[in-house]
Chains A and B, each alone.
Chain A
Amino acid sequence: MTRVAVTGLGPVSSIGTGAEAFAAALLAGASGISQIQSFDSSGFPHRNGGEVRDFDPARWLRRLDPQRWGRSSQFAAAAARLAADDAGLDLDSLDRGRAHAVLGTTSGESVVAEALTAQILASGFPGMVPELIEQLPAGRLAHAVSEELGLHGESLTLATACSASNYAIGYAYDLLVTGEADVVFAGGADSVCRWAHAGFFKLGALTETACAPFDRDRSGILTGEGGAVLVMETFEHAQRRNARIYAEVLGYGINCDAKHPVAPDRESISQCMRIAHRSADIKPEEVDYICAHGTGTPANDLTEARAVIEVFGDNPPPMSSIKSMIGHTMGAASGFGAIASAIAIDRGFLPPTINWQNADPELSGVDPIPNVARRATVRVVQNNGFAFGGNNAIVMLGAVR
């Protein structure tokens, strides 16, 4: 059976760009939250978000012309370039037809969509600018990666909302184990936008200042953004070029609640965990750390914790949410989770849940790794991703044995 290695990490996030900066921020429990500037947030009662303030695509991109691509595509391509460099990949030596790009997203080119909407408001439908229309299709997120790195393999953007990166990593895993690929660039990207901020606020799911997953008084998410791409390759390919291997992708599970468009379902999530464990051929007691979906809404965290206890028993492994640091980066979220999981395995620490103050009696048994990172030997990680539409996806990563 072909084994799948993670050999490069490319986070473009509000707490750091590049593997080194991102790992240091996770270890420090940094916060990337600030008052939103990319749109006029003054009319909103809640104004905080996780914007990548210093993102300068020209600094990272070598082939892609940022003018022709929307912000989410720029995030994707920059993250992929960073991941390729981190992996020490010589792109010229790749069999480019066996190198693929698989990205996940919730809202695609949301900033472009809002710019077009503003044009419709200002001057009617005929006022939409063709150059922007060209940038709108969500499929361009993966194409940006294929263009930037010169990849000839599949260029696929999966739009399964907030678990989309895990879907992408899962499909990448399949491309590698079925012999279709040597290397896959997999992850996700999304951009902060006004409509999602408004939607979550009106749903009562947007917190005011700080996201506090698993806290008794948690009150919701903060919208975030960024690009998260991992280089995944076969062990054979990685070993032939003496690559550093952060972690192994052990398998994954996906299923669908088929019940409610937005409310998570405990039974279905438990089932997804069991599917993932079976795929990875591991038992619950082998899991050392759960990188939680942990949005910080009362409903998600309760449902997720109960599903974990149902599968793992009363003493589940430690479970933290990096959304406390970077906000909910939507389609990139489980990509950042996978990067954090690989770093946890490689560097031997568990990222904390910051902003945590009070234990929630409803979540007894849950160890959220409050506020301070913890040194630990991490052999197996479960990276959770759940989504609107009931699209659950869980990726299992492990230390190389």
Chain B
Amino acid sequence: MSTLFISGFASISSAGMRAGALAERVSSGQAHPGVPVGSLYEAELPAADGHALTDFDVKTHLGRKGTSFYDRATALAVVACGEALANAHIEIDEETRPRIGIALGTTLGSFKSTSDFSMETLVQPKPYLVNPVLFPNTVMNCAAGQAAIRYGLRGANATITGGPMAFLNALRYAGNAINRGYADTMLVGAVEEFTPHRAWMTALSGKVPHPAGEAVAVFAVSTVRMAPVAEVLAIANGYGPGGQGSEALAGCVQRVLRKAHASAGDIRLHAITREAESGALAGTKIFRAAQHFGDCGAATGAIALASVLELHEAEPARDGELTLLTASTDDGAVGAAIIRGWSRGGADRG
């Protein structure tokens, strides 16, 4: 497998969408309580505060045309894909179009879109009195498909599920697509929206220590080493059936260390999606993205990596440091990746 480089990225979260916003929030070192979210929806929410970007409006970024039926997850993903393309200086023309793809992580698309559509079949005088224009939003690949339409990207286009594992699943899928020659560049990311549905599900599950958050982060990945901000040294995903998630994760961590020719002591930061992963690399500083951005579900790993890369950008002294990303689900899906990060231009200063 050839080395994968990240040549640019973009994110949107409760911290905003300006480059550097993530690093600023993370650098405080304090958990963030969220912001008042009551104005976002008419429905009652489980808490007054949450982690949403309350003033996000897709029309500000993309205009009215083609965006009026986007749901929130789609809007976040399409805007972030555009920003990532720009950040990585990717030219889209007739030659490159079929060679640029998308691998976007999700939990189940927009559950709000699906549930609202399903709700219409229950409350309308006739169960078929639904709005057909909103039907594609109930399908999980809506966001990746709309991003492809918006930017004319005709390469491998995949929507990858996995909840907290979604980003590592997407990164793994995209790495394979590039290495097998199906695409030259992949936009790899994950998205999760803030809705009453997610806020309540997160609160009711009783398993998540943080309130629901929303986020998207998208990375431009290819094998070309052009002013990269990061290098994906290794990735390994697996499953621990019968409650063997921790053992399976330990196995994945050993595999990525081996593949990256690194030892545990070389890892400077360990970014986790769930507390259960905190013991996977003893003695390493832990980074919990959910403390700063809420429980961002599928986007947790993506926003963690974006935060780490912004920290690299802010502190060139970190150039070349290694970060371990881990992820896991309640069921037993696990994954690990090792990323080497640089400030912009740092990779070429030697």
Contacts and interface: CB of A to CB of B under 8 A. Distances in A.
Interface string B230-248: 0000000111111000001
Nearest to A124: B44
B117 A43 contact: no
Interface centre among B114, B140, B144, B149 (most CB of A within 10 A): B140
A257 interface: yes
Interface string A200-232: 111100000000000000000000000000000
Interface stretch (B13-21, B52-60, B176-184, B269-277): B176-184
A270 interface: no
A126 B202 CA distance: 11
Given A133-B201, A133-B204, A389-B141, A258 B149 contact: yes
Contact of B159 (A117, A120, A160): A160
Interface string B241-285: 110000010010000000000000000000000000000000000
A396 B282 CA distance: 47
Nearest to A140: B331
Given A121-B123, A154-B172, A139 B251 contact: no
A194 B123 CA distance: 13
A52 interface: no
A280 to B, nearest CB: 14
A313 interface: no
Interface string A113-137: 1101110110011101010011011
Contacts of A124: 44
**Interface bin, chain B:** 35 or more
Given A137-B107, A178-B176, A388-B136, A261 B197 contact: no
A147 B331 contact: yes
B98 interface: yes
B141 A160 contact: yes
A109 B331 CA distance: 15
B239 A125 contact: no
Contacts of A17: none
Interface string B160-185: 11110110010011001001101000
**Interface bin, chain A:** 35 or more
A125 B197 contact: yes
Interface string B130-174: 111001101111101110110111111111111101100100110
Contact of B101 (A63, A196, A256): A256
A121 B127 CA distance: 14
Contacts of A391: 141, 144-145, 157-159
Contacts of B127: 40, 43-44, 194, 198
A202 B130 contact: yes
Contact of A139 (B98, B114, B121, B329): B329
Interface string A136-175: 1111100100110011111111111100000100010011
B45 to A, nearest CB: 8
A335 interface: no
Given A121-B123, A194-B121, A147 B101 contact: no
Interface stretch (A100-108, A364-372, A378-386): A100-108
B196 interface: yes
B128 A201 contact: yes
Nearest to A147: B241
A201 B117 CA distance: 13
B38 interface: no
Given A113-B111, A138-B161, A151-B239, A128 B139 contact: no
B22 to A, nearest CB: 25
Nearest to A389: B145
B140 A138 contact: yes
B149 A97 contact: no
Contact of B238 (A97, A118, A196, A202): A97
B48 interface: no
Given A120-B115, A125-B196, A130 B206 contact: yes
Contacts of A125: 43-44, 46, 196-197, 200
Interface string A231-260: 000000000000000000000001111111
B108 interface: yes
A262 interface: yes
Given A113-B111, A261-B146, A198 B123 contact: no
Interface centre among A134, A143, A178, A389 (most CB of B within 10 A): A389
24 contacts: A107-B140, A120-B197, A121-B123, A137-B108, A138-B106, A138-B161, A139-B107, A140-B331, A146-B333, A147-B331, A151-B239, A152-B239, A152-B241, A154-B237, A156-B169, A157-B161, A159-B159, A193-B118, A198-B117, A199-B117, A203-B135, A256-B155, A258-B152, A390-B145
Interface of B: 1, 43-44, 46, 97-98, 101-102, 106-109, 111, 114-115, 117-123, 126-132, 135-136, 138-142, 144-146, 148-149, 151-163, 165-166, 169, 172-173, 176, 179-180, 182, 196-197, 200-201, 204-206, 237-242, 248, 251, 329-333
Given A107-B139, A158-B161, 10 more contacts: A97-B238, A133-B205, A137-B108, A137-B329, A150-B241, A156-B237, A202-B131, A256-B148, A256-B154, A258-B152
Considering the complex of A and B, which 8 residue pairs feature the smallest CB-CB distances, nearest first? Answer: A389-B145, A256-B157, A159-B140, A199-B135, A125-B200, A155-B239, A389-B141, A195-B118
